[in-house]
Amino acid sequence: MAFSLSSCVVFIFCFNLMFYHSHLGAEAYFPPITPISYLITKNLFDSIFLHKDDTACPAKNFYTYESFIQASKCFPRFGSVGSLSTRKREIAAFLAQISHETTGGWATAPDGPYAWGLCFKEEVNPQSEYCDSTNKEWPCYPGKTYKGRGPIQLSWNYNYGPAGKALGFDGLRNPDIVSNNSLIAFKTALWFWMTEQKPKPSCHNVMIGNYVPSEADIEANRTVGFGLVTNIINGGLECGIPHGSSVNDRIGYFQRYATLFNVDTGPNLDCAYQKSF
């Protein structure tokens, strides 16, 4: 089989990314049992994201199925570990979290509030430039802001820097590429999902059952489940708050997607009584 230059570049970046993960203590590379496209077909993807390409959505035509599948090839452990139910549940959980981060839904929206994921590709009305000037390893570049962009709404210089290093772009000098390039956008979301950032475990390890709570985790009630993933992503603002609307929105998406995948959600959906990391 002949390879185009673009496919070679993708292969090199993916190989480098797996090498990068191995040096971060992430799981070693193993080939997936079944391609992820068998677990989430384009028809299922389109039925999950019913309105992402509506005129009302600023991200219209940005988040393509093809980009999602191509990005997942750089993370072969995503959706490929454990039983079929575990694999489907992880994919559903990932899609639920990125749907909340990019939602355009509201309570009385057509098809319900949980049919409007992937509507936005960057944060609306950011409250700051998301520059942590105390972080000397990943210093902010003059004139650049590190607001939420892409499916996971990647934020802060200390995330843009390492994400760019892992994925092959300059995250500090060119953060806008995350909201201008569909493939890179999905890669940043999967990078965040798969990468452990101590003391936080990776979202991936939580959803496949590889999370082992420390004494501090047990004391903080950080139990395994979808709620812990929410804690990893935005626990400082959302966890430890009973009946929080943001947490409930994430759960609503997850419940809908789990039904579409014909899988249960598992335990501990919220983080209402968890301390943040």
How many residues does the structure list for the chain? 277
Long-range contacts at 114-118 (CB < 8 A, ≥ 24 apart): 114/252, 114/253, 114/255, 114/256, 115/49, 115/50, 115/51, 115/256, 116/50, 116/51, 116/52, 116/57, 117/48, 117/49, 117/52, 117/253, 118/49, 118/52, 118/57, 118/59, 118/62, 118/63, 118/151
CA distance 72 to 81: 13
CA distance 95 to 85: 15
CA distance 82 to 208: 7
CA distance 170 to 149: 15
Q: Cite the active site residues.
A: 101
Q: Which residues contact 33 (CB under 8 A, 6 or more apart)?
A: 80
Tokens of 91: 């994919």
How far CA 5 is from CA of 2, 28, 66, 178, 201, in Å, comes to: 10, 27, 18, 22, 36
CA distance 31 to 12: 16
